[in-house]
Amino acid sequence: MSSTAFWVVGVDASGVERVRELLGHGDDPIRLLARSGYASPGPSSVVGEADPHTVTVAYSVLPAPGSAAGAVDEVTGGPPAKRGRDPGMVLAPGEEPVVLQRIAVYAVVRSARGILLAENSALTNAAGTWGLAGGGLDPGELPEAALHREVWEETGQVVEVAGVAAVTTRHWVGRAPNGRLENFHAVRLVYRATCPDPTDPIVHDADGTTSAAAWFPVDALADLPLAVWTREALAHLSRDDGG
């Protein structure tokens, strides 16, 4: 499990806190709020604390009686996501997965040169696909600090963060690139950001999970081999922006 506590807070239109719960392993903030009878269009703010390491995401909520039965996935708009499993996975006798929750930050970075993407390296399970720049929080690291660090390490760009846009989750059992069997819960904070002075991207974190970085015109994204969750996140944000 992650050593970082991830709190989900629901605040109504009058500013009253209606929900405050820890996000459990495999859970999703929108489903958590729905079980308490509330619906939300998405996160409104993120606050981090270094010691103890805590991430708190606030959501604007509206009462939605019975919403738990009709909860939807925040990104796809479909039914709540279930735990996945790697196809064809073979377990050794007595093998049990390591339970791991990873909290990470990513940015949809826009500039005059387009949208910034990073290519996944062979150290990932999605080698050759393109995704948003970002990565996991270091112990005690605050979310926006982690975002600036990750974007610089993976692309060499300096960005201005405009705010959190979405929180997406995925939960599955499968093998990491090193062969370890994991019960893995990915919690991704997706931010909007701009790059006032875009340059030719360069990967500073050599031999890491990013093999290349580049700016792409928005109309070129449909033809790129995007990581599945990145394509879903971009589509979700496009709907929010009226695209």
Distance from the Cα of residue 75 to its chain's centroid? 11
Q: Are residues 235 and 173 in the same domain?
A: yes
Q: Are residues 183 and 124 in the same domain?
A: yes
Number of domains comprising the chain = 2
Mean of the per-residue pLDDT values of the chain: 90
| Neighbouring residues of 117: CB distance < 8 A, sequence distance ≥ 6 | 130, 131, 132, 133, 213, 214, 215, 216, 224, 226, 230
pLDDT in tens, 54-77: 999 999 999 997 654 444 444 434
Three-state SS for 120-136 is ECCCCCCCCCEECEEEE
Q: Are residues 124 and 236 in the same domain?
A: yes
Assigned domain for 72 exists? no
Q: Are residues 36 and 118 in the same domain?
A: no
Q: Are residues 130 and 202 in the same domain?
A: yes
pLDDT band per the 50, 70, 90 thresholds, residue 79: very low
Q: Are residues 36 and 145 in the same domain?
A: no
87, pLDDT greater than 60: yes
Q: Are residues 226 and 108 in the same domain?
A: yes
pLDDT at residue 93, rounded to an integer: 86
Q: Are residues 47 and 110 in the same domain?
A: no
Strands (E), 53-180: 54-60, 62-63, 84-85, 98-111, 114-120, 130-131, 133-136, 160-175
Maximal CA-CA distance, the chain: 55
pLDDT at residue 237, rounded to an integer: 84
Greater confidence, 149 or 74? 149
Assigned domain for 218 exists? yes
pLDDT in tens, 175-233: 888 889 999 999 999 999 999 999 999 999 988 999 999 999 999 999 999 999 999 88
pLDDT at residue 74, rounded to an integer: 44
Q: CATH number of the domain that 178 lies in?
A: 3.90.79.10
125, pLDDT greater than 60: yes
Q: Are residues 47 and 146 in the same domain?
A: no
Say which residue the tokens 């392993």 belong to.
25
Assigned domain for 83 exists? no
pLDDT at residue 67, rounded to an integer: 53
102, pLDDT greater than 80: yes
Q: Are residues 103 and 175 in the same domain?
A: yes
Q: Are residues 136 and 220 in the same domain?
A: yes
Assigned domain for 161 exists? yes
Domain that holds residue 174: 98-240
Q: Which of 20, 46, 65 is the last residue of a domain?
A: 65
Distance, CA of 193 to CA of 149 (rounded, Å)? 14
pLDDT at residue 78, rounded to an integer: 39
pLDDT band per the 50, 70, 90 thresholds, residue 241: confident
Q: Which of 21, 45, 65 is the last residue of a domain?
A: 65
24, pLDDT greater than 70: yes
